[in-house]
């Protein structure tokens, strides 16, 4: 590691929704994400007007967000992301709804909710996050200078 840099790890526990393990950079938003009209399923990016992540890609990242908003078509758009190879590596969310549960299942990526701490306080965009939805464990590696 370069001089002046260190890392620290934070471990959180929660409830796995879709099993599996993933390790990737985090992309964090405190805003819910709309499926239909909110994401570009060909690129795996947020296109929703006035969304703080507009223009950013979640493809291959651990998407940390409250959950789904909009119509029941939400899951179809995330399913298309999976088919197009543009899905997130994993999902961490805070609001369980039937729409969110179905979306997580059809996306087929590790998903976890009900963490024992506030993920929006603990995880920042760019942190390395390991999601073990089999065991309900999220490990965050923070880089500090």
Q: Is residue 1 part of a domain?
A: no
Question: What value does the mean pLDDT take over residues 16-30?
Answer: 97
User: Looking at residue 94, what is its pLDDT?
Assistant: 96
We report the CATH number of the domain holding residue 125 as 3.50.30.10
- What is the β-pairing status of strands 90-93 and 6-13? unpaired
pLDDT at 71 exceeding the cut of 80: no
Give residue-wise pLDDT tens across range 119-143. Answer: 999 999 999 999 999 999 999 999 6
**Residue 50 phi, psi (nearest 5):** 65, 15
Burial of residue 3, with CB atoms counted within 10 A of its CB: 0-12 exposed, 13-18 middle, 19 or more buried: exposed
Residue 17 domain-assigned (yes or no): yes
Number of domains present in the structure of the chain: 1
- Whether residue 140 is contained in a domain is answered as yes
Is 40 within the bounds of a domain?
A: yes
Residue % of the chain over a pLDDT of 90: 80
Residue 1, pLDDT above cutoff 50: no
Q: State mean pLDDT over 100-105.
A: 92
Residue 54 domain flag: yes
43, pLDDT greater than 90: yes
Q: What gap in Å lies between CA 49 and CA 47, rounded to an integer?
A: 6
Domain containing 128 equals 6-144
Residues marked as catalytic: 71
- Judged against a pLDDT cut of 80, whether residue 16 lies above it is answered with yes
- Residue 25's pLDDT band (cuts 50, 70, 90): very high
82-107 mean pLDDT:
94
69: Cβ contacts below 8 Å, ≥ 6 apart: 32, 33, 34, 38
Contact (CB, 8 A) for 132 and 7: no
pTM for the model stands at 0.92
pLDDT at position 145, please?
53
Does some domain include residue 100? Answer: yes
113 within a domain of the structure (yes/no)? yes
For the chain, give the mean pLDDT: 92
Whether the pLDDT of residue 72 is over 90: the answer is no
């Amino acid at each position: 590691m370069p001089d002046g840099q260190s890392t620290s790890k934070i471990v959180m526990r929660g409830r796995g929704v879709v099993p599996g393990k993933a390790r990737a950079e985090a992309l964090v938003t405190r805003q819910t994400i709309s499926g239909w009209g909110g994401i570009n399923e060909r690129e795996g990016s947020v296109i929703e007007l006035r969304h703080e992540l507009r223009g950013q890609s979640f493809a291959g990242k651990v998407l940390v967000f409250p959950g789904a908003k909009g119509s029941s078509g939400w899951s179809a758009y995330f399913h298309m992301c999976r088919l197009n190879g543009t899905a997130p590596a994993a999902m961490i969310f805070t609001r369980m709804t039937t729409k969110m549960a179905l979306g997580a299942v059809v996306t087929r990526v590790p998903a976890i909710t009900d963490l024992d701490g506030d993920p929006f306080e603990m995880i920042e965009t760019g942190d390395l996050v390991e999601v073990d939805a089999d065991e309900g464990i999220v490990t965050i590696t923070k880089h500090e200078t």
